[in-house]
Copies of this chain bind each other. A is one copy, B any other.
Amino acid sequence: MDKPSEQKSTHHVVIIGGGFGGLYAARTLNKAPVRVTLVDRRNFHLFQPLLYQVATGILGPGEITAPLRHILRKQKNAAVLLGEVVGFEPSRRRVILADGNIDYDTLIVAAGMKNHYYGHDAWEKVAPGLKSIEDSAWIRQKIFFAFEVAEREPDPEKRRAWLTFVIVGSGPTGVELTGMVAEIARESLKEDFRSINPRESEILLVDAADRMLPAFPPELSEHARSTLHDLGVQVRTGVRVTDIDEQGIALEGSSGKQRIASHTVLWAAGVAASPLGRMLAEKTGVQSDRLGRVMVSPDLTVPGHPEIFVIGDMAHLPGKDGNPLPGLAPVATQQGRYVARGIERRLSGEKQEAPFSYFDKGTMAVIGKHAAVANIGRFRFGGITAWLMWLFIHLLLLINFESRLVVFVRWAFSYFTHSRGSRVLIATGTLRLPISGTGNNESPETPG
């Protein structure tokens, strides 16, 4: 893998994963006397916080992604390697790729999270989560396709199942998806059909927790619930999912069991660390938690392996309140910068930094037009102020200026016209309607 022309003597930092953690680590190593190799299965960085807008047709995939090579093109000590990591050999300081090996002096593992269905593999086939760009294409397909089938379905009961949307999980992602589905049904599509009225769709948000947005203070949960209620969404908390299949979802709560017929169940109820977490933990003899996150030392190294860091969503590190730090972009970004600075200090012989400490600038969730909740330090607020703040911050965080401008244009249009410029069902090939109106062939298929 290493080419003879390169200086083998230069300290080699290998970073696995081009998400927030990995990318910010690479960039912070800009001036360090190292060579950096960023390995990713994909050729792009994904701005995950806006993924739900791709899933709901506001943005196109190109607007929240940026090629890793392009981001790092000026950083001459960094190279990007498109490859899939399949194993580790910590004793030889080697990472095994599907098609070769790569040796490191320091390793940063930042491979992120994937959807997690708590062992119900069958649910994964019918209820897409929202972690990858493909997930977002599948969700978009499911949502808009459901209205198409309903338009052609003469049987009222079957039609109702196509116009029922269930979102499982009421964290920020679930709430954002729900708000968007409500806006699609109530506004974006209101004039588009002839046999159905999209406004008659039923939209449910369910969660096993006893209130929605459980990570937020109770008053913001209540604010979000009443905002969603005004958008015509039924919020059901304290309700457990017992089954999901192509025909609907089974729920169980204090008021008993219920089955809801729906062809569009979306999953925002759980994520787990990339399998690389468990793999690395086994090889290094350290512990991982029940979500597969690696239990790291306070300086984010793997215990016993000061040359291996695990950062971002894959790392289990207790925060000030004793709970593990949440899987948020700001945590990953700060950790990426922290380990990069740590590596630089080590190489220059300075003493180590203090343990990593997360600076919490606050958390927000968007519910719908003019509506969001924000929990920032001692300030807790909702409504249009939170919403404007959310818009502004997310625009600024987009990594390239072109995307920023395009996203701004799309948001402005979507705001004034309710249009969805990217409603088009592309990534998943030609739509095929089920013959009977009840079949299910809306899973992604191969184009070309």
Residues of A within 8 A of B (CB): 3, 41-44, 60-63, 65-67, 69-70, 73-74, 79, 81-84, 98-99, 128, 132-135, 137-138, 144, 148, 151-152, 154, 189, 191-195, 400-403, 405-406, 409-410, 413, 417, 419, 421-435, 443-448
With the chains together, A138 CA to B41 CA distance in Å?
18
Question: Given A60-B63, A432-B84: A73 and B192 within 8 A (CB)?
Answer: yes
Q: Across the interface, which residues of B come within 8 angstroms of A443, CB to CB?
A: 448
Q: Across the interface, which residues of B come within 8 angstroms of A422, CB to CB?
A: 60-62
Contact B3 A195 (CB under 8 A): yes
Question: Given A419-B70, A421-B62, A421-B402: A82 and B138 within 8 A (CB)?
Answer: no
Which residue of B192, B424, B447 contacts A62 across the interface (Cβ within 8 Å)? B424
Q: Across the interface, which residues of B come within 8 angstroms of A154, CB to CB?
A: 3
Contact B402 A413 (CB under 8 A): yes
Inter-chain pairs besides A99-B434, A132-B447, A402-B421, 20 sampled, C-beta below 8 Å: A3-B154, A43-B431, A44-B423, A44-B425, A60-B60, A60-B61, A61-B426, A62-B421, A65-B426, A66-B424, A73-B191, A82-B431, A83-B152, A83-B433, A99-B435, A128-B448, A137-B426, A401-B413, A402-B419, A444-B447
User: Would you give the shortest CB distance from A370 to chain B, in whole angstroms?
Assistant: 21
With the chains together, A446 CA to B441 CA distance in Å?
14
Contact B445 A69 (CB under 8 A): no
Enumerate 16 A-B pairs (CB-CB under 8 Å) in ascending A order.
Answer: A41-B431, A43-B424, A44-B423, A62-B423, A62-B426, A63-B421, A69-B192, A69-B193, A74-B191, A82-B148, A98-B435, A134-B426, A137-B448, A400-B421, A427-B427, A444-B448
Contact B99 A433 (CB under 8 A): yes
Contact B446 A445 (CB under 8 A): yes
Q: Across the interface, which residues of B come within 8 angstroms of A431, CB to CB?
A: 41-43, 82
Q: Across the interface, which residues of B come within 8 angstroms of A81, CB to CB?
A: 152
Which residue of B84, B192, B427 contacts A426 across the interface (Cβ within 8 Å)? B427
Contact A410 B419 (CB under 8 A): no
Q: How many copies does the complex hold?
A: 2
User: Would you give the shortest CB distance from A262 to chain B, in whole angstroms?
Assistant: 19
User: Would you give the shortest CB distance from A81 to chain B, in whole angstroms?
Assistant: 7
Question: Given A154-B3, A426-B427: A409 and B406 within 8 A (CB)?
Answer: yes
Contact A402 B406 (CB under 8 A): no
Which residue of B42, B192, B444 contacts A430 across the interface (Cβ within 8 Å)? B42
Q: Across the interface, which residues of B come within 8 angstroms of A421, CB to CB?
A: 62-63, 400, 402-403, 406
Contact A194 B79 (CB under 8 A): yes
User: Would you give the shortest CB distance from A406 to chain B, in whole angstroms?
Assistant: 5
Which residue from chain B places its CB closest to the CB of A137 in the assembled complex? Answer: B447
Q: Across the interface, which residues of B come within 8 angstroms of A425, CB to CB?
A: 42-44
Contact A61 B424 (CB under 8 A): yes
With the chains together, A423 CA to B66 CA distance in Å?
8
Q: Across the interface, which residues of B come within 8 angstroms of A428, CB to CB?
A: 447
Contact B62 A138 (CB under 8 A): no
User: Would you give the shortest CB distance from A237 to chain B, in whole angstroms?
Assistant: 29
With the chains together, A235 CA to B184 CA distance in Å?
50
Which residue from chain B places its CB closest to the CB of A149 in the assembled complex? Answer: B82
Contact A134 B410 (CB under 8 A): no
Contact B448 A446 (CB under 8 A): no
Q: Across the interface, which residues of B come within 8 angstroms of A419, CB to CB?
A: 70, 400, 402
With the chains together, A315 CA to B283 CA distance in Å?
66
User: Would you give the shortest CB distance from A435 to chain B, in whole angstroms?
Assistant: 5
Which residue from chain B places its CB closest to the CB of A154 in the assembled complex? Answer: B3
Question: Given A99-B435, A402-B410, A446-B446: A67 and B423 within 8 A (CB)?
Answer: yes
Which residue from chain B places its CB closest to the CB of A44 in the assembled complex? Answer: B424
